[in-house]
Each structure stands twice: as C-alpha cells, then as structure tokens.
C-alpha cells in the first residue's frame, strides 16, 4: 500500500502507531507503519530502518561513540568535522540527516543546498541558536535536540566556575606554575550566606540552584515562564529581573539566547548591580554585551566574571574580555563530560533515527510536540483529517481561490484535554498537496498555509457524553468558493464535508447538507440523483463491468423520491468511459470523482 507522505494509510499492523511526519523521499512506506514505539528495544525499534536502503547521516562535529555506533547500525554515517560552509553545502545535498553541536552554523544556505533531501537536523545538545529554525521550517526539515543529557554537566560546570572564580583558582594556578607564591594576592570570597541570582530557572538553572543551596547560598531566581511552585519546592524565590540583579552578590546565567535575551546584561543593567557583583555565564555569550562587561569589570562594578561561552567562538586571541585579569574562562566546556557526551550522543542518535523512521520526535523544536500517547489515540483522526482536506479542496471549482477555511472539532473533551494541532496540520496538508507541488508535513504546514494566504479558523464544539473517544466528528468548510459539485455547497453557501471515525475507520458522513456514510478508503464517486429504485444497481453494474471494486455505497437523501446524494467508495480508478456512463444515467444530475 502506498503511504501518503505525512501519514500512513489505514491498514496498519495492529501494533503500529501513526505516522511519517517528515515524508521521506528516500525512505519507503515501510517506515510509515512502525512508529512511536518509544519504549521498544532499540534494535527492534529501528529494525525497519535496517531493512531499507540506508539513509545517509552527516555527523559534522564529534559525537560520543555509543551514539555513533547506534547510527551506524541503521545508516551510512559520514563523520566530517570542521567543514567550511561551502563544504557543508556540497555534502548536504547527499544527506538525509545532519548532526551538529554548537560549533556548526546551520544557516539558510545549508537548507537551500540540501534541495529538499535533508529531513532532520539533530543538535547534539540543548542550544539551537546555531540552527536557522525559520529556514528549517520553511524547508520542511525537522530540528531535534538532546535537551536533557547534558543538564547536570552544565550545572556542575557552572558551580565549578563559581567556586573557581570566588577562590581565584585559575589565576593562582597560573601564578604558582610561573614559580610564584602569592598567598595574599589570591584571597577569595566566601559563598555561604551570599545571594545568588539564577537567571533562567529551567533545567540547568534549577540544578545550579539546588547545588548552590547545598553550599549555603541564598538563591533567588528570575524566569518569566517558570512556575513558582517548582522554585518553591527547592527553596528558591522567583523574583523580577530588576530585583534579581540589584540584590545579587553572584549572578549565574541560564537562559537561552533569543531575540529577547540578546545582550540582556548591558551598560544599563550593569549600572544597577551591586558594586562588586560576580558573574557566571554557562548559557550563551550573546546574552551579555561583552564590551559593556569589560567596562563593568574595569570600573569594578563586576568584580569577577567566569565565562564558558562567548559571542564569537572561539573568541579572538586578543579578546579584552578573555584576557581580563578578573575573568576566568573555559572554552565552552559546560557539556563536556564523558558521561554527558555519551548521553547526548545516544539521545540525539535515537531522536534522529526515530525522525527518519517517521516518528514525531519528542524533542522536536520546530514542530508541535505531541506525545506518543496522544498520537496513538488520534491515529485514525489524523487519517480522517487529511482525507477531509483532500476531499474539500477537490470539490472547489477551478478558478476559485481557497483562502477561508474553518475546521470544527466536535468532542466531549475541551481544548485542554485534546491537542488538535496535528489534525490541523494534516488538514492543511490535505488542502494544499492536491493543488500544488509543495510538500507539506507537520513541520511546515502552518508556514505553507500562510504562504498560500490560507486563513484557518478552528472551532471546538463541546458535546455531552463520554470523553473516552477523543472526537465525535471533524468538519471542514471552505468559504467564498464555487464547487464543481454543487451539492457540496451547504445551505449556508460554503463547501462542507464532515467525517467521523467508525470502528477505527474514517468515514465521510456529510457532504454539503446531505448526510452520507462512506468509508474513506480508495477513492469516491459522489452523485446527486433523484432518489429512485435501482440506482445503486445501475451504477454498481457499470463499475462491475470493468472490474472496479465498490467498497462502500451510501445514499443520503432529503426525503423519499426527492434528491439524494449517492457516495460510492471504489478501490480502483474507474475509466473515463465508466464515469461518463454514470453521468449519462438519466436520474443522475451531477457527479464528481474524488481521489483520496
Ligand atoms: N555551556 C554549555 O556547554 C551549556 C550546556 C547546556 C546548556 N547550555 C545553555 O544553557 C541554557 C539553558 O539550558 P537549559 O537546558 O536549562 O534550558 P531550559 O530551556 O531548560 O531553560 C531555559 C530557561 O530560561 C528561561 N527563560 C527564557 N527567557 C528568559 C528570560 N528572558 N529571562 C529569564 N529566563 C528566561 C526559560 O523559561 C527556561 O526556563 C541554554 O542557553 C543552553 O544552550 C550551555
Ligand atoms: O547548548 C548546549 O547543549 C551546550 O552549549 C553544549 O554545546 P556543545 O554540544 O557544543 O558542547
């Protein structure tokens, strides 16, 4: 069975879950049927990959052995380090996936050079500021990271720098190695009882906080998005940015580099700090205005800084910041422990292989993260959504531009209880792919919708009843268009199709204002006819003559002997001649053949 690029067709083995989110040109349909089995043993988990033509993965920075070993079982792995942008662009057109750390800029040029082949970028670490996410999304390329395996290493490095700075370890070491014995020069400061402001109370920030509390420090944190109860649970008070920087003796930075955090520490903010504050940065160099930091160090506002990360890496040899006598520096070593690197390598190898195989990676950073449980539950609705989108757009008469679409989910569950983003994406896919050459997947669905000027409105109708089943029905309406099948226009003037899942199989249950019931497999012929005996037989025998198997027939009528819609599901494509003959049946007023 041919699998559609974004999702599998229906006849999946019983233990399979949804979905090929990335639509692999190089990977066959087999990938699409064995997904989201996160807890399977690795060898079973990726066995499908092993059976197929191997994908090619470019590993552009050093990766732990365990991860490489895993990748090599299922893919051709090209380990090429220190590539120039030109070399990277040349190689990338032959690769299905790319794995990098923080040292490789994955810019728009790289995605353009891949000419659509690159399906996944794996960032072996947390920060994805070196990957052009907008370009990745536009090219339908998934970006995954490895967000957990280096948390402790980064936190430990932060604490190591904090203590080394407070006790002048690096400077004293250099001094003694130079043959000096400068005990009074390197008198340090104590940590106990001092206030540490942790800026960014995420994974690393909270681990640093825990450890700093163990050292007897008073820890406050600033993070606009962190829940106060998580902070309270480890005895940390969340405070405003202002309060954090004015009251801290030590500041430790743990936020991501984003447009709103870039140079968040600058001349203005340094001026508000306690004179003699000490600063640790294991986050990203760009969150500090480095020239302002040099000025703050020169005048003693900042007594010392301990820095693992820099705006430019490596920093220039003559960097005033690195050379400053009150700066302790390390070359981006936060994640560099044996344990973290092995962990990160395995985490990213699994994420990349899973994504190549069609799983929706739990660590995707440019696609909605939908849990495996939700995906499994929504599987038949994902199929239904795409087919409704396909049907609806094929009902539009040529020349009518599709711009206004409404999706209505009828469910006993509220929005908090049911995540429908994946359904929206597959409806977009269904709407766009039959009428364009673009390739739509979960990653780029919204982008493509926007590009085409498609405005989607979503509505939830909350039903009484059991929330056991996630959805009762999905309705897709296209407004302000004409239809090539007039009966698809509802009494309110828009193209309307509605579907439900019955016994795990998607069904079309409404066209225009007519109720029908036809399973959405194969293709569909819709006929409007005057309801009269013998119609089903007439159409059935025309199709039977050329051996077209009718999988389903359903008649939806307004009233006996009045107009009715006959929906006929067919497994094979009927010939033009047969379709013409159906059209010639005197009671048939209009008909349309729709490919699913
Ligand atoms: N030096 C290293 O080798 C190393 C290793 C690991 C992580 N890191 C970096 O450390 C940072 C944190 O990593 P993490 O794993 O804890 O990420 P995380 O996503 O778990 O935590 C980041 C936190 O920053 C918060 N945040 C966002 N904007 C903020 C703002 N304006 N002010 C305050 N807080 C804000 C977020 O709410 C989040 O809680 C990242 O930049 C990451 O790249 C560096
Ligand atoms: O964001 C991260 O994970 C760290 O900065 C680690 O980067 P690295 O993989 O280049 O060591």
The domain that holds 571 is classified in CATH as 3.30.70.260
Contact residues for 498 (Cβ-Cβ < 8 A; gap 6+): 388, 473, 474, 475, 476, 508, 509, 510
Residue 248 sits in the same domain as residue 128: no
What are the catalytic residues? Answer: 284, 313, 332
Same-domain status, 348 and 470 = no
Report the 3 state secondary structure along 262-314.
Answer: CCCECHHHHHHCCCCEEEEECCCHHHECHHHHHHHHHCCCEEEEEECCCCCCC
**Residue 34, domain member (yes or no):** no
Residues facing 569 on adjacent strands: 524, 552
Ligand (nearest to CA of 100): 2
CB neighbours (10 Å) of residue 2?
8
Instruction: Please tell me if the CB atom of residue 122 comes closer than 6 angstroms to any atom of ligand 2.
Output: no
Residue 228 lies inside a defined structural domain of this protein: yes
Same domain, 431 and 314: no
With respect to residue 43, please indicate whether it lies within any of the assigned structural domains: no
User: Do 137 and 180 fall into the same domain?
Assistant: no
User: Within a domain: residue 571?
Assistant: yes
CA-CA distance, 168 to 171, in Å (whole number)? 5
Which atom of ligand 2 is the closest one to the Cα of 124? Answer: 9
390 and 453 co-located in one domain: yes
Q: What DSSP line would sit under 116-157, residue for residue?
A: T---EEEESSS--TTB-HHHHHHTT-EEEE--STTHHHHHHH
User: Nearest ligand to the C-alpha of residue 126?
Assistant: 2
For residue 460, which of 468, 472, 449 has the smallest C-alpha distance? 472
Instruction: Tell me the ipTM for this assembly.
Output: 0.99
One digit per residue, pLDDT tens: the chain, 596 residues? 233 333 222 222 223 333 344 543 323 222 222 233 333 445 555 655 655 689 999 999 999 999 999 999 999 999 999 999 999 999 999 999 999 999 999 999 999 999 999 999 999 999 999 999 989 988 989 999 999 999 999 999 999 999 999 999 999 999 999 999 999 999 999 999 999 999 999 999 999 999 999 999 999 999 988 888 889 999 999 999 999 999 999 999 999 998 889 999 999 999 999 999 999 999 999 999 999 999 999 999 999 999 999 999 999 999 999 999 999 999 999 999 999 999 999 999 999 999 998 776 778 888 776 666 777 888 899 999 999 999 999 999 876 678 999 999 999 988 778 888 889 999 999 999 888 777 788 888 888 898 888 999 999 999 987 778 899 999 999 999 999 999 999 999 999 999 999 999 999 999 998 888 888 988 999 988 887 777 778 888 899 898 888 887 887 665 555 678 888 889 888 988 889 898 888 888 999 999 88
Q: What distances in angstroms separate CA 398 from CA 111, 481, 483, 524, 594, one per listed residue?
A: 33, 9, 8, 19, 14
Q: Per the domain annotation, does 348 fall within a domain?
A: yes
Angstrom distance (rounded) from CA 383 to CA 505: 9
Residue in 539, 588, 530 with CA at minimum distance from that of residue 564: 530
Q: How many CB atoms lie within 10 A of CB 545?
A: 12
Is 283:257 a contact under the CB 8 Å cutoff? yes
* 127 and 100 assigned to the same domain: yes
Q: Which of 102, 161, 257, 311 to mutate to test the pocket of ligand 2 (most atoms within 8 A of CB)?
A: 102
- What are the distances in angstroms from CA 502 to CA 305, 380, 462, 508, 595? 64, 9, 19, 10, 21
Tell whether 141 and 109 lie within a shared domain: yes
Q: Are strands 76-79 and 56-59 parallel, antiparallel or unpaired?
A: parallel
Ligand 1 centroid–CA 89 distance in Å is 30
Phi, psi (deg, nearest 5) at residue 437: -100, 5
Residue 536 structure tokens: 């089903």
Q: 296 and 250 share a domain?
A: yes
Residue 71's pLDDT is: 98
Of 470, 493, 511, which residue sits at a domain end?
A: 511
Distances (CA, A) of 8 to 22, 154, 471, 493, 539: 12, 40, 19, 33, 30
Which run of H or of E encompasses 461? strand 455-462
For the CA of 309, the closest atom of ligand 2 is: 5
Are both 184 and 290 inside the same structural domain? yes
- My answer on whether 390 and 445 are in the same domain is yes
Residue 40 lies in a domain: no
Let me know: does 553 contact 499? Beta carbons within 8 Å.
no
- Residues 80 and 167 placed together within one structural domain of the fold: no
124 lines ligand 2 (CB under 6 A): yes
Q: What is the dihedral of CA 475, 481, 487, 490, to 10 degrees?
A: 50
CA pair distance 448, 46, nearest whole angstrom: 31
Residue 66 lies in a domain: yes
Neighbours of 377 (CB within 10 A): 17
Range of the domain at 572: 521-595
- Count of structural domains within the chain: 4
CATH number assigned to the domain comprising residue 224: 3.40.50.720
- Domain end, chosen from 462, 483, 511, is at 511
User: Which residue's structure tokens are 């309801």?
Assistant: 531
Look at residue 264 and tell me if it is in a domain: yes
CATH number for the domain harbouring residue 447: 3.30.1330.90
506 CA to centre of ligand 1 in angstroms: 43
Mark whether 325 and 444 lie in a shared domain. Answer: no
Tell which of 482, 511, 540 closes a domain: 511
């Amino acid at each position: 069975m041919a699998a559609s690029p974004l999702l599998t067709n229906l006849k999946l083995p019983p233990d399979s879950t949804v979905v090929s989110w990335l639509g692999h040109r190089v990977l066959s349909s087999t990938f699409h049927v064995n997904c989201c089995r996160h807890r399977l043993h690795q060898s079973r988990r990726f066995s499908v990959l092993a059976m197929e033509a191997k994908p090619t993965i470019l590993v552009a920075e050093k990766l732990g052995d365990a991860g490489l070993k895993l990748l090599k079982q299922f893919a051709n792995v090209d380990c090429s380090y220190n590539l120039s942008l030109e070399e990277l662009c040349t190689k990338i057109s032959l690769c299905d996936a790319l794995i990098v750390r923080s040292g490789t800029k994955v810019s728009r040029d790289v995605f353009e050079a891949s000419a659509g082949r690159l399906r996944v970028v794996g960032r072996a670490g947390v920060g994805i500021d070196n990957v052009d996410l907008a370009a990745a999304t536009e090219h339908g390329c998934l970006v995954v990271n490895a967000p957990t395996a280096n948390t402790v290493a980064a936190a430990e490095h932060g604490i190591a720098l904090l203590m080394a700075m407070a006790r002048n370890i690096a400077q004293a070491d250099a001094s003694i190695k130079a043959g000096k014995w400068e005990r009074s020069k390197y008198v340090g400061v104590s940590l106990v009882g001092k206030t540490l402001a942790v800026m960014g109370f995420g994974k690393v920030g909270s681990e640093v906080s825990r450890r700093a509390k163990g050292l007897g420090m008073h820890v406050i944190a600033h993070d606009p998005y962190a829940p106060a109860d998580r902070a309270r649970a480890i005895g940390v008070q969340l405070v405003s940015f202002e309060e954090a920087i004015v009251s801290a003796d030590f500041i430790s930075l743990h936020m991501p580099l984003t447009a709103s955090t870039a140079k968040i520490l600058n001349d203005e903010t340094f001026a508000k700090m306690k004179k003699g504050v000490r600063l640790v940065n294991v986050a990203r160099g760009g969150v500090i205005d480095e020239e302002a930091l040099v000025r703050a160090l020169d005048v003693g506002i900042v007594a010392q800084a301990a820095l693992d990360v820099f705006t430019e890496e490596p920093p220039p040899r003559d960097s005033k910041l690195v050379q400053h006598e009150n700066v302790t520096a390390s070359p981006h070593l936060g994640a560099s422990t044996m344990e973290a690197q092995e962990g990160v390598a395995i985490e990213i190898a699994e994420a990349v292989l899973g994504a190549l195989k069609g799983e929706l990676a739990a660590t995707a950073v440019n696609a909605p993260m939908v849990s495996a449980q939700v995906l499994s539950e929504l599987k038949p609705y994902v199929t239904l959504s795409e087919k409704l989108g396909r049907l609806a757009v094929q009902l539009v008469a040529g020349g009518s531009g599709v711009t206004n679409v409404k999706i209505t989910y009828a469910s006993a569950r509220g929005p908090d209880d049911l995540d429908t983003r994946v359904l929206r994406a597959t409806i977009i896919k269904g709407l766009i792919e039959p009428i364009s050459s673009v390739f739509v997947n979960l990653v780029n669905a919204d982008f493509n919708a926007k590009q085409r000027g498609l405005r989607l409105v979503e509505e939830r109708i909350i039903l009484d009843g059991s929330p056991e089943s996630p959805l009762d029905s999905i309705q897709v309406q296209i407004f302000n268009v004409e239809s090539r099948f007039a009966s698809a226009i509802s009494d309110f003037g828009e193209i309307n199709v509605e579907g439900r899942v019955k016994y795990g199989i998607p069904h079309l249950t409404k066209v225009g204002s007519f109720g029908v019931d036809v399973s959405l497999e194969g293709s569909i012929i819709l006929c409007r006819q005057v309801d009269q005996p013998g119609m089903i037989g007439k159409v059935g025998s025309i199709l039977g003559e050329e051996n077209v198997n009718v999988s389903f027939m359903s008649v939806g009528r307004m009233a006996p002997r009045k107009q009715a819609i006959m929906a006929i599901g067919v497994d094979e494509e009927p010939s033009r001649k047969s379709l013409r003959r159906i059209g010639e049946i005197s009671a048939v007023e209009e008909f349309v053949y729709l490919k699913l």
